[in-house]
Amino acid sequence: MYTEVTHPQLGPVRITNQAVKMSETTPYVRGRAPLLGEHNDEVYQFLGFTPEEISAWREKGVI
């Protein structure tokens, strides 16, 4: 019912695994939840912003 994942700030953390078990599927936990802002660069680049624009925002404290 539970599995353990490694959190970058908290270390090992127990979380709830998939509660429903079915005979022909193998549910599993893919990983921990992302930290706040962890994927900002990827999202902004997907939206069309350049790494230079993102760096400038970070320097100005926008993000």
User: What pLDDT was estimated at residue 14?
Assistant: 92
Q: 28 and 19 in contact (C-beta within 8 Å)?
A: no
User: What pLDDT was estimated at residue 26?
Assistant: 78
Q: What parts of the chain have a pLDDT lower than 50?
A: none
User: What pLDDT was estimated at residue 31?
Assistant: 84
Distances (CA, A) of 49 to 33, 41, 46, 55, 63: 25, 9, 7, 10, 13
